[in-house]
Chain A
Amino acid sequence: MKVKYFAWVRERVGLAEESLEPPAEIRTVAELIGWLAGRGEHYAHAFESPRAIRAAIDQTHVRPDAAIAGAREIAFFPPMTGG
């Protein structure tokens, strides 16, 4: 799946997007955040406060308990500050 990062999540990870294949036991957005946080120092910093992270699957907002099965694109970002 394609994983995208925006705003300070992007800056901390150091990438705007990447292709990842998380292990099969990673089933939800919250589990994916936990898995990402274990991928190294930059990821740990980006995902140190899971409650501060918002997520979208295939460009639709989702909650942390959303299933990631079948997702083509998952995005992580801070709460939105547009307008």
Chain B
Amino acid sequence: MTIPVTIRIQQADFDIAREIAALTGGRTDIGAVVTFTGICRGSEGDAPIAALTLEHYPGMAEAEIARHAETATARWPLTGLTIIHRVGRIAPGENIVLVVTCSAHREAAFHAAEFLMDYLKAHAPFWKREEGQSGASWVDARDHDEAAASRWTER
């Protein structure tokens, strides 16, 4: 069965309620919807952040997300999936990324959303540049994110 899968990379903000409605409208087979929203923080530790700028690799970013979406739909009985990643300048409090997973029951929706976020962070070609008080700098990758992604292959 093919399920509705939407993947978008865009500068514009997204409306979470509208994205859920687009997946669930007119359907009665969906018993669970999980959403994850990544939001720009106003500080990193004690250091204030004025904004983030997200760069991506056009073409490969979409392809990597699509590849992981296929893995998720093969691994869990999902009935709908939407992934939106913003690029460009994003201010504290603004949305960065959205994952919406639908399934008949909650377990698959929870697990797939977590899997997709772990993989997005470690493998999708996006880079954050942080504007702080003393100029801008590229955000360093965290070992924690790589470890979070790898635990899904160890099960």
Contact = CB atoms under 8 A, between A and B. Distances in A.
Given A6-B125, A80-B122, A80-B126, A75 B60 contact: yes
A83 B124 contact: yes
B90 to A, nearest CB: 12
Given A80-B121, A80-B125, A8 B57 contact: no
A29 interface: no
Nearest to B121: A83
Interface size class of A (residues with CB under 8 A): 10 to 19
Contact of A83 (B57, B126, B146): B126
Which of B38, B63, B123, B127 is the most central at the interface, judged by chain A CB atoms within 10 Å of its CB? Answer: B127
A82 B129 contact: no
Given A80-B125, A82-B121, A83-B97, A6 B57 contact: yes
B45 to A, nearest CB: 16
Interface residues of B, number: 30
Given A8-B138, A61-B123, A81 B128 contact: yes
Contacts of B141: 78-81
Contacts of A78: 127, 138, 141
A4 interface: yes
A80 B63 contact: no
A60 B124 CA distance: 10
Contacts of A75: 57, 60, 125
Interface in A31-65: 56, 59-61
